[in-house]
Amino acid sequence: MMSDAALSRPRLSLDQALMRGGLWLAAGFLAIFLVLPLGALLMRAFETPQGGFAGLANLAAYVTTPALLVAAWNSVWTAALTALIVVPLAFAFAYALTRSCMPTKPLFRAVMMLPLLAPSLLPALALIYLFGNQGMLRGLLMGNSIYGPIGIVVAQVFHCFPSAALILSVALSTADARLYEAAAALKASRARIFRTVTLPGARYGLVSAFVVVFTLVVTDFGIPKVIGGQFPVLATDVYKQVVGLQNFNMGAVVGLVLLLPAVIAYALDRWATRQRAATLSGRAVPLRPAPRRARDLPLLALCLVVAALLVGIVGVAVWGSLIRFWPYNLSLTLDNYDFTRFDAAGWSTVWLSVRMAALVAMIGSVIVFTIAYVLERGRQDGALPGMVRFAASVPLAVPGLVLGLAYVMFFNHPANPLGFLYGTLAILVLNSLVHFYTVCHLTAVTAIRQLDPEFEAVGASMRVPVWVTFWRVTVPICLPAILEIAVYLFVSAMTTVSAVIFLYGPDTKPASIAVVHMDEAGQASAAAAMAVVILGVTTAAKLGQLAVGAVVGRVTQAWRR
Amino acid sequence: MGASASDAAVTEGAPTRAAYLEVRDAGKQFGSFVALQRVNLAVQAGEFVTFLGPSGCGKTTLLRGIAGLDPPTTGRILQGGRDITHLPPSDRDFGIVFQSYALFPNLTVAQNIAYGLRGPAWPKARVKERVNEMLGLVGLAEHAPKYPAQLSGGQQQRVALARALATEPGLLLLDEPLSALDAVVRLHLRQEIRSLQQRLGVTTIMVTHDQEEAMSVSDRIVVMSRGRIEQIGSPAEIYTQPATPFVASFVGHSSRIEAVVDTPPGTVVAQGVRLPATGARLMLYGARVVCFIRPEHVRLHPHDAAPAGALMATVTGLEFLGPVVRLSLEAGPLRLLASIPPADLAALGSLADGKVAVTLPPEHLLVFPDDV
């Protein structure tokens, strides 16, 4: 009886109310710019072109159109083939980086990241220079055309290599040396140790790498657009239905189909991540490889070949962009960089991209970090935190093309009060931000979780408001992670094609779209030049991160030493 | 755990005069798990009270409830006559030191201590003065410009203490403040915390699972188990007059003997062994009881000079612990621990045959009704 009377209802303090308010804002942001657009896409797939309810008619039309089904199958098998090539290659590369004593590892690590800085169109353009109709090495294909599956798979291998190698080098770097000592003490041969210790230790990394590569290939638009020729895949189909045929309903259906493999892959990856977390014991002794020539030299040779190919492909694109008239007049010129000759917009597309990417980076790092903070450090009661956490993880499974299409359908809807955003720079910024949200969110969450969970409690006990603690303690400590997020957003926004191709307006055309257009118009050299400019900007941003990081480190991270 | 026993313990701790901090019927539930069960407690101003218990006993939950970090689901908490049950931490008056210290790693020692000293009440000059005062108090004056990572664990602990006390809170809460330190520093620092507390007269509540730590610094100890308070009392009371079997076995060493009350009054029988026990005098014939006896209360005699009623025991183990020697004994069905000064061991004569005579003083046998 008495305990009923004394049932307490704790009042929210100003701090807690503020955190809760922030979480509601986050939920609102993700609802408007992620959930509602995806909902609009879903509804459109079940509507007739006139807006009536079509039921499953669109789906039925899709399933009975052989050309569309062929595209879906093409997407799946090129993606699987790419993954089967990339994952073993990336595994060997990552193995060399983590488990050997070969020289110049940092250099290989840097070269490995090169494809991430380039738009996916760049390797496709380079391959056309080498193996296209006027390619110098066309004979090597023995009559096959580079335009089609061969070109797609080779370009995707280049494009996906860093993602797979990154995942696998993380998986391989968390080995427990004691397992190896135990195996050696039990007189296991090297091959047996590799089979029974190394591979099982990396198996979830292998699953993750395979899944990530598969998803990247299925959802990539730039490479099949440039080098796919008449070979249809899902990503180009969506584009064709929407831009070519203006059939938004069928576009929505194909978009949903495109979402399917990505969602399955995402679920699989989450499963693998959970398993991996469970296998990692807290007190593992890190493995330090000892030099062994029989292992180190072959691995070094392999890394040299891979690095040469990565640099070579970028090199071909750079070289091609400097050629007067491929392949007949190989004299060098800067004419291809005079973009006004090919596209009325000229260099303004580059400045627009830089402006857009800078806005995404600045606004994005603030939004992402703040949302991660209120989510991690606010009260965890009720359904709201769980919902926001889930919403923040969704963008990883949504291909850029699907998100872009969803934005078209949502923001271009006559009844939407936010319709004024359509065709503006703002919508490009918001779309890119949401598209790349999850990776940044995870980076922020990881950084925040490393802080002592009682910081806010200590602040509250001294009556210091939570925003003071956030500003004086949390942000300064997490500055390196925030910088990392900003640069990741900048590079991604500079290089993305799929996320923005449905959304740019006449005055807001990004450089990556200009590459597609120039390639479509047959101006391959100019397209290559533009891709190289993008690569230059992103490389500068990455180098800038290193420089700024060093300065920021000296000023704000003195306590770490 | 006997409901009657713990209720009795609770009434012992009920407030008699106006207390500085009062916890009334506080309960806390996480889903179906009951972390705190109708806890009642009164702490006088200037008192040093320790919550002692094994992990998961609810001691940290109670502390966090008092701090307002995880408010109790039922009951009330009053501080200085003010009902603070519903107040968020920032509207309460306390300083806290966490197990991890939670020092801000990017702020210097001085900045950490000055962290709560803000607003119109704290002009710059006064902040500086206060920080220097606190640094002097914990003996870290020369470390003011350093970052926490550059300090030893014990020094970090002191910074956390100085930071918690800088705003002159009426209540100091310590959540296992010493458990991250190594043994020698721990001994030294707990005395420092105690003398600091006595000098400042600040009401202090500490949570610990280390009974020696609790004994050495506390005015009173609150022994907790499974979300309940088992006993509240001075260290001596807890040790010599444990209120429940849990307290008897958790605080200090003891041998546990299960027995049944027999005649004449004041006798128990443990697996056929008759033992006189003063504590069983008022208990009903045939009642099942658990008895405890401290190792230092077990009397040993040379086996060829056994007094009347002595048990013959075999020595099964012998540990030399410095000031005492601890012997493991088997006296028929009973297993006993005894500790005696090393000199007395020699007086027992040869232990070559491993035989010794044992008597258990009836007044030292702690007897509790056993209600399984």
Contact B74 A3 (CB under 8 A): yes
Task: Report the pLDDT value the prediction gives residue A283, as an integer from 0 to 100.
Answer: 54
User: For residue A192, is it within any domain?
Assistant: no
Chain A interface includes B24 (CB < 8 A): yes
pLDDT at B4 over 50: no
User: Is A441 found in the same domain as A305?
Assistant: no
User: Is A130 found in the same domain as A70?
Assistant: yes
The DSSP annotation for B117-161 comes to --STT--HHHHHHHHHHHHHHTT-GGGTTS-GGGS-HHHHHHHHH
Contact B100 A557 (CB under 8 A): no
Q: How far apart are CA A307 and CA A105, in angstroms?
A: 11
**Residue among B67, B71, B116 whose CB faces A8 most closely:** B71
Contact A460 B88 (CB under 8 A): yes
Other residues' Cβ atoms within 10 Å of the Cβ of residue A57 = 13
User: For residue A471, is it within any domain?
Assistant: yes
From A470, A484, A473, select the one nearest A556 (Cα to Cα).
A473
> pLDDT tens-digit profile of B202-230?
999 999 999 999 999 999 999 999 999 99
Domain extent listing, chain B:
3-94+169-250, 255-369
In chain B, the residue whose alpha carbon lies closest to the alpha carbon of A465 is: B90
User: Is A530 found in the same domain as A407?
Assistant: yes
Task: Report the pLDDT value the prediction gives residue A10, as an integer from 0 to 100.
Answer: 55
On chain B, the residues whose CB falls within 8 A of the CB of A557 are: 106
Select from A296, A314, A333 the last residue of a domain.
A333
Other residues' Cβ atoms within 10 Å of the Cβ of residue A68 = 20
**Residue among A11, A455, A476 whose CB faces B88 most closely:** A11
Contact B89 A462 (CB under 8 A): no
User: Is A143 found in the same domain as A59?
Assistant: yes
Average pLDDT of the segment spanning B93-109: 91
**Residue among A8, A468, A476 whose CB faces B86 most closely:** A8
User: Is A346 found in the same domain as A302?
Assistant: no
In chain A, the residue whose alpha carbon lies closest to the alpha carbon of B87 is: A11
First to last CA, chain A: 58
CATH number of B3-94+169-250: 3.40.50.300
Contact B167 A462 (CB under 8 A): yes
Beta-sheet strand order (sheet of B311-320): B299-301, B355-359, B311-320, B325-331, B334-340
In chain A, the residue whose alpha carbon lies closest to the alpha carbon of B113 is: A462
For chain A, the domain total comes to 2
User: Is A421 found in the same domain as A381?
Assistant: yes
Chain B interface includes A10 (CB < 8 A): yes
On chain B, the residues whose CB falls within 8 A of the CB of A11 are: 86-88
Q: How far apart are CA A399 and CA A73, in angstroms?
A: 17
**Residue among A13, A457, A472 whose CB faces B96 most closely:** A457
Per the structure block, which two tokens stand in for A116? Answer: 């991430």
Task: Report the pLDDT value the prediction gives residue A367, as an integer from 0 to 100.
Answer: 95
User: For residue A197, is it within any domain?
Assistant: no
Q: Residue A267's domain is classified under what CATH number?
A: 1.10.3720.10
Give B103 to chain A, closest Cα distance, Å. Answer: 8
Select from A333, A354, A376 the last residue of a domain.
A333
Lowest mean pLDDT among A249-258, A261-270, B48-57, B141-150: A261-270
Identify each DSSP E strand in chain B by its residue range: 21-30, 33-43, 48-52, 74-79, 82-83, 95-97, 171-175, 203-208, 220-225, 228-233, 255-262, 267-270, 273-276, 288-293, 299-301, 311-320, 325-331, 334-340, 355-359, 366-369
User: For residue A345, is it within any domain?
Assistant: yes
In chain A, the residue whose alpha carbon lies closest to the alpha carbon of B161 is: A458
User: For residue A196, is it within any domain?
Assistant: no
Distance (Å) of CA B181 to CA B143, B154, B188: 19, 7, 11
Chain A interface includes B151 (CB < 8 A): no
User: Is A73 found in the same domain as A22?
Assistant: no
> pLDDT tens-digit profile of B301-359?
888 888 888 888 888 888 888 889 999 999 888 899 999 998 888 777 666 678 888 99
Give A461 to chain B, closest Cα distance, Å. Answer: 6
> pLDDT tens-digit profile of A483-534?
999 999 999 999 998 888 889 888 889 999 999 888 888 888 888 999 999 9
Select from A286, A315, A333 the last residue of a domain.
A333
Average pLDDT of every residue of chain B? 87
User: Is A311 found in the same domain as A215?
Assistant: yes
User: For residue A7, is it within any domain?
Assistant: no
Contact B90 A11 (CB under 8 A): no
Fold classified for B255-369: OB fold (Dihydrolipoamide Acetyltransferase, E2P) (2.40.50)
User: Is A284 found in the same domain as A373?
Assistant: no
User: Is A315 found in the same domain as A451?
Assistant: no
Chain A interface includes B177 (CB < 8 A): no
Angle, alpha carbons B71-B77-B83 (nearest 5°): 110
> Which stretches of chain A drop beneath a pLDDT of 50?
1-8, 280, 282
**Residue among B69, B76, B116 whose CB faces A464 most closely:** B116
Give the domain range for residue A31. 13-41+340-561
Contact A452 B100 (CB under 8 A): yes
In chain B, the residue whose alpha carbon lies closest to the alpha carbon of A11 is: B86
On chain B, the residues whose CB falls within 8 A of the CB of A10 are: 68, 71, 85-86, 88
The DSSP annotation for B3-33 comes to HHHHHHHHHHTS-SS--SEEEEEEEEEETTE
The phi, psi pair for B68, rounded to 5°, reads: 85, 10
Q: Is the dihedral of CA B193, B194, B199, B200 positive or negative?
A: positive
User: Is A75 found in the same domain as A56?
Assistant: yes
User: Is A251 found in the same domain as A386?
Assistant: no
Per the structure block, which two tokens stand in for A255? Answer: 């978009």
